[in-house]
Amino acid sequence: MSPLDNQLDDYLRIRRALGYKLARTEKLLVQFIAFLQERGERVITIENTLAWVTLPGGSDSWRAFRLSAVRGFAAYLHALDDTHELPPADLCPNRPARATPYPYSAQEIAALMAATVILRGRLRQSTYRTLIGLLAVTGMRVGEAIRLDRDDVDLAHGVLTVRDTKFGKSRELPVHPSTVKALRDYARERDRLCPEPTTPAVLVSKAGTRLLYCAVHSTFKQLRDHAGLKPRSVTCRPRIHDLRHRFAVQTLLDWYRSGVDVQPLMPLLSTYLGHTRPSDSYWYLTAAPELLELAADRLSRNEGRSS
């Protein structure tokens, strides 16, 4: 192994001890080090970073992600040896802004679930129909849903246990009786169609294995296209992750409309979503115009009472 390989191992070990997973980051940095070795270079420079980040075939967002991965590693190395340069954050021009969440309606979610009829095999249809519904009503991350094992689902008490989350913590999610029924129905059909799976996962592929993250995204694109969902703008495209956004927004809308004091409840929403800070959940307020309007109206009425 080269010195850079050893330093990468140390860097990843330190970051993961802080709760980061870095699976994609590790793959990218291994590729970056291989790129440097092919060029006979042993240190990170702005020049070789730009050369790697802008290799043909990537989108603006992908180049931005590659740059972010290198900058984190470069910052670590620069602190140990200043011969390594720290590439600037604006090294890539036209770095894209944060994607605008797609505001799914209930009808669009139903259309996505109905679109599963295009998939080959009853089990695959049932699995993706259940996955989409589960994401919509729990706000789970895709990775959390596909990592659910049978022991994590307590249908008797209506509780899901989410383990190995984005920040290395676990949490329990109470779910509605209708969700319990949907999961029980899926489990019955799954066990009938795949009586001997090779995984303890709740959601299984037609081969009886755990769903793969990349395969889920690929299948979702098929369902999205079949359901006729179109981008609202260049930055607002229907993504599977936006089902999580819809859950958060819908929860906040329900709270505002019912007249409850929302602020004390934000830590509960943050815990349910698996955010490390309530401030992470406040972003949903700014991302939904309807929520901003309700919040502004609530603030105006409160100020009227106090004056």
What is the helix (H) or strand (E) element at residue 173, kind and residue range? strand 171-174
HSE-up of residue 14 (Cα within 13 Å, Cβ side) = 10
Distant-in-sequence, close-in-space partners of 278: CB < 8 Å, separation ≥ 6: 266, 267, 269, 270
For 83-131, the DSSP string reads TS----TT-STTPPPPPPPP---HHHHHHHHHGGGGSSSHHHHHHHHHH
Give the active site residues: 141, 166, 241, 244, 275, 284
60 alpha-carbon distance from chain centroid: 19
User: Which candidate, 65, 68, 69, 39, places its Cα nearest to that of 51?
Assistant: 39
| CA pair distance 303, 307, nearest whole angstrom | 6
